[in-house]
Structure 1
Amino acid sequence: MDSPGSGKDAASSGRVRDKQPTLDGTDRKLIALLQENARESVTELARKLKLGRTTVHERIAKLEKSGVILGYSTILSRNLGTPASRAIVMLSLVQRMQPAVMERLRRLPEVLTCHTVSGDFDLALMVEAPQMDDLDAVLDEIINLPGVERCRSSIIMTTNFDKG
């Protein structure tokens, strides 16, 4: 099999889990690549990730079986009735590092939006992950990006309305 999806999505086969597994950096990179092109061959994904084809195929199967990937084009799962963990993240950057930082942020599937802002910070992000542990891991990854000087995050407790 040289394509990641079987055509049958997890939602229709009843594979929705109560607790999502914690994703490591390789899983998040794989998901980002699938979000860019869900029809990318496993061989090409393996080349881009510098992993063996079998390893990538097994990771995709694990993500599908656990319910993290519900279908293609890649749909990240959310527990039914339980909202995902979200945070507003404000970043202060090293001068002239903004393009490099933004490119790295673009590759993180959990970063939904990135805005350039005025004031004490340079960027405002909306970050979402299936669980608080996953959100914590992504925030750690963001603060450790080269060029990030300071980070302030606010966990979203309740969404009162959303017009978007």
Structure 2
Amino acid sequence: MTTKVTQGTLLDATDKQILRALDDDPRATIAFLAQSLGLARGTVHARLRKLYGPDGLAAETIKVPPGAVGRPLRAIITAQVEQAQFEELVKDVSEIEEVVECLGVSGNHDLHIEVVAADAEDIYRVTQRLMMCRGVTRTSTMIVLREVIPRRMSQLLR
């Protein structure tokens, strides 16, 4: 019986070792991982099945640079929303293709939304579209000037 990895499950040393190797080479095969880490192929296979099972860790999408899809400009848009319309709001926001991430947050704002766009005019258009989503009462937009530290997790696997 395999244990499913959920948000509350802690990773053991072998899980971390495999994930570090995959962070370095996301396309590594089971055979390569087993050989390079000194583990049995069956162990690597079982651990990956556990880690990436239906209720397990989410495999991140391929890290495509926004510029490669014609949208080199990134912005963070915070939004205040009417909580009674939250479910409808999430549906509306998910239909905006420029939205690459949306997080519910605490503090002065309810949502932290990352968008990508072709230029400043495009950011304005996306912001206006967000304002039309059910439940949005106010937004604030910040243009990303540069990525100082990219999203990372491998340092936590040491």
Superposition TM-score, scaled by structure 2 size: 0.50
Answer with 1 or 2: which has the greater Rg: 2
Please report the TM-score for the alignment, with normalisation by the length of structure 1. 0.48
